[in-house]
Amino acid sequence: MVKNRFKLVIFDCDGVLVDSEPIINRIFAETLTEAGFPITYAEVTQKFIGKSLKTCLEIIEASYKKPLPKNFVELCKEREIAPLQQELQPVSGITEILEQIRLPKCVASNSSHRHIQMVLKLTGLLDKFDGKLYSANDVSRPKPFPDVYLYAAEQMNSNPEDCAVIEDSVTGVQAAYAAGMTVFGYAHQSDACGGLRQRTALAEAGAKIVFNDMRQLAKLL
């Protein structure tokens, strides 16, 4: 059992609980390219990690100076379902960690409620949060603004300074840091160069501790 000074642990979803980002980024890059907005998987990963879908779409339209097709979002969501069902896995070690952490916990994500529920259900993690799922769609501004983290703390009757946040993106770390919470940066990139870049970026964005093995989290909190 973990005893510490925190009263609430808030988890980001994609990249922290579920390893969905490689799948979603691949589909996003393919669908954009087919729609006449050529982009590689690497570019999508670099430019859009942690950002809300709305922000990503705004960046794309501004970059290419033309509007996306009207049905683009629906098409992406439709094309994501089968690969997510076939390939999606929980982040290595997260299932055990969620069992070990006895503190109240919830999810705060830039993704939609539909997406959060779907990926947590597919990976068997949905019941670990007892319906305590909060989306950027619940607030006026997505991460990197602190709104969704402040909203989650309020809904869970916790003060920001009593909250620990687990994040894997610079955007998310910035949001939690701006909310006045203690941020633990999860640097999951495995190659040495990419991993070092990610660790440095998370620390510079405001992560108090950066770690690369989810199994370490119980001891770190």
Give the per-residue pLDDT at 196. 81
How many other CB atoms sit within 10 Å of the CB of residue 181?
28
For residue 14, what pLDDT band results from cuts at 50, 70 and 90? very high
Which structural domains are found in the chain, ordered by start?
8-19+89-220 (3.40.50.1000), 21-87 (1.10.150.240)
For residue 4, what pLDDT band results from cuts at 50, 70 and 90? low
Active site residue 12: yes
Give the per-residue pLDDT at 116. 96
Give the per-residue pLDDT at 3. 47
Q: What percent of the chain has pLDDT over 70?
A: 95
Beta-bridged to residue 210, according to DSSP, are: 185
Catalytic residue, candidates 12, 19, 147, 168: 12
Q: What percent of the chain has pLDDT over 90?
A: 85
> In whole angstroms, how far apart are CA 92 and each of 97, 130, 169, 171?
10, 21, 17, 22
